[in-house]
Chain A
Amino acid sequence: GQQVMQIPQYQHVQEGEDFTTYCNSSTTLSNIQWYKQRPGGHPVFLIQLVKSGEVKKQKRLTFQFGEAKKNSSLHITATQTTDVGTYFCAGPPRTDKLIFGTGTRLQVFP
Chain B
Amino acid sequence: DSGVTQTPKHLITATGQRVTLRCSPRSGDLSVYWYQQSLDQGLQFLIQYYNGEERAKGNILERFSAQQFPDLHSELNLSSLELGDSALYFCASSVIAQGVLDEQFFGPGTRLTVL
Q: Which of B2, B104, B108 touches A98 (beta carbons < 8 Å)?
A: B104
Q: Which of A33, A41, A95, A103 touches B103 (beta carbons < 8 Å)?
A: A33
Q: Contact residues of A with B, CB < 8 Å?
A: 30-31, 33, 41-45, 48, 88, 90, 92, 95-103
Q: How far is the CB of A86 from chain B (nearest CB, A)?
A: 9
Q: Within 8 Å CB of B58, what residues of A? A: 97
Number of A-B residue pairs, CB cutoff 8 Å, is 56
Q: Which of A88, A97, A101, A103 touches B100 (beta carbons < 8 Å)?
A: A97
* Structural contact, B42 and A48, CB atoms closer than 8 A: no
Q: How far is the CA of A5 from the CA of B95 in the complex (A)?
A: 27
Knowing A100-B43, A102-B42, say if A42 contacts B100 (CB, 8 Å). Answer: no
Known: A30-B100, A43-B106, A92-B101. 13 other contacts (CB 8 A): A31-B101, A33-B104, A41-B108, A42-B2, A42-B106, A42-B107, A45-B103, A45-B104, A96-B48, A96-B55, A97-B45, A98-B100, A100-B42
